[in-house]
Amino acid sequence: MIFDTVKQSLSSQRVLIPVEQLLTDVQGSRMPDVQPSLLTAEIARRAVDACPTTALTLEETDGRTQLVLNYADCIACGRCIEAGAGAFVAARKLTCCGVAKSGLVRRWDVASGAEIASGEREMENTAREIRSLLGRALNIREVDTGSCNGCEAEIVAMTNPYYDLERFGIHFVASPKHADMLLVTGPVTRNMVEAVRQTYAATPSPKLVVAVGACGCSGGIFAGSHATAGPLDAIIPVDGYIPGCPPTPAMLLSGILQVLQRRS
């Protein structure tokens, strides 16, 4: 029987997606992007009003209005895309996975439509230290601090034959004691705070912490609930952020690789 299975899998078509195709790909995530040429004050206002979180805001600086898009707060509901008359579109490629928190924020001058350079990417000593010690091999412990399990579904999908995380020498391990990186989902519920702190303490240094999903980055739709205590970076130090609700396997993979390779 086992031979039938092996035969079947060997005869089937290869589905592995090349890494170049995965990096920065965000299709299927419904994360928004802005088409600067179509942006007007009216459309920006409509999109900001349609946003159910604080992901889209307008800021006045020196008499000019800026549209601010913070991917940390974005739950990918698609409402700005619906309201944005073509100026807001479902992004195909984004470089916001695995960056520092400031790298999740983008700004546009509403009048001219021009994008204003985004936040600095911070120098990460820890990332360099781990890279110098391990090359690209990496052990990840996944920690769910109260997610809806959407992020877990996508993290598991990273190991399927399309994405094949193991090709990069990256493995999921069963204990924080074996981990170089904690991949953390969820808004950190009050009931999980202690477990999160203990898991972090049990992970040997040097270690990396990556916050995953809108909940991991900002608390997402659960921010402000009486039963949550997060976001994650209020509880333990975080090295990189992967936004999305949930982030797709391509975004997770891009983010993990980005955190490992990040330079100043």
Residues of this chain that interact with another protein (CB under 8 A) are 1-2, 4-6, 8-9, 12, 15, 27-30, 52, 75-78, 82, 90, 142-157, 159-162, 172, 174-176, 186-187, 189-195, 199, 220-222, 225-228, 245-246, 248
Q: In angstroms, give the least distance from the CB of 125 to another protein.
A: 27
Q: Nearer to another protein by C-beta: 103 or 243?
A: 243
Q: Nearer to another protein by C-beta: 186 or 243?
A: 186
Please classify residue 4 by burial: count the beta carbons closer than 10 Å to its beta carbon, then call 0-12 exposed, 13-18 middle and 19+ buried. Answer: exposed
Distances (CA, A) of 62 to 65, 109, 116: 8, 11, 14
Q: In angstroms, give the least distance from the CB of 118 to another protein.
A: 25
Q: In angstroms, give the least distance from the CB of 254 to another protein.
A: 16
Q: In angstroms, give the least distance from the CB of 221 to another protein.
A: 5
Q: In angstroms, give the least distance from the CB of 223 to another protein.
A: 10
Q: Nearer to another protein by C-beta: 110 or 208?
A: 208
Mapped to the 3 state alphabet, what secondary structure does the chain carry? Answer: CHHHHHHHHHHCCCCCCCHHHHCCECCCCCCEEECHHHCCHHHHHHHHHHCCCCCEEEEEECCEEEEEEEHHHCCCCCHHHHHCCCCEEECCECCCCCECHHHHEEEEECCCCCEECCCCCCCCHHHHHHHHHHCCCEEEEEEECCCCCHHHHHHHHCCCCCCCHHHHCEEECCCHHHCCEEEEECCCEHHHHHHHHHHHHHCCCCCEEEEEHHHHHHCHHHCCCCCECCCHHHCCCCCEEECCCCCCHHHHHHHHHHHHHCCC
Q: Nearer to another protein by C-beta: 100 or 151?
A: 151
Q: Nearer to another protein by C-beta: 28 or 36?
A: 28
Give the type of residue at 118: S
Q: Nearer to another protein by C-beta: 80 or 110?
A: 80
Q: In angstroms, give the least distance from the CB of 252 to another protein.
A: 11
Q: In angstroms, give the least distance from the CB of 120 to another protein.
A: 32
Q: Nearer to another protein by C-beta: 61 or 160?
A: 160
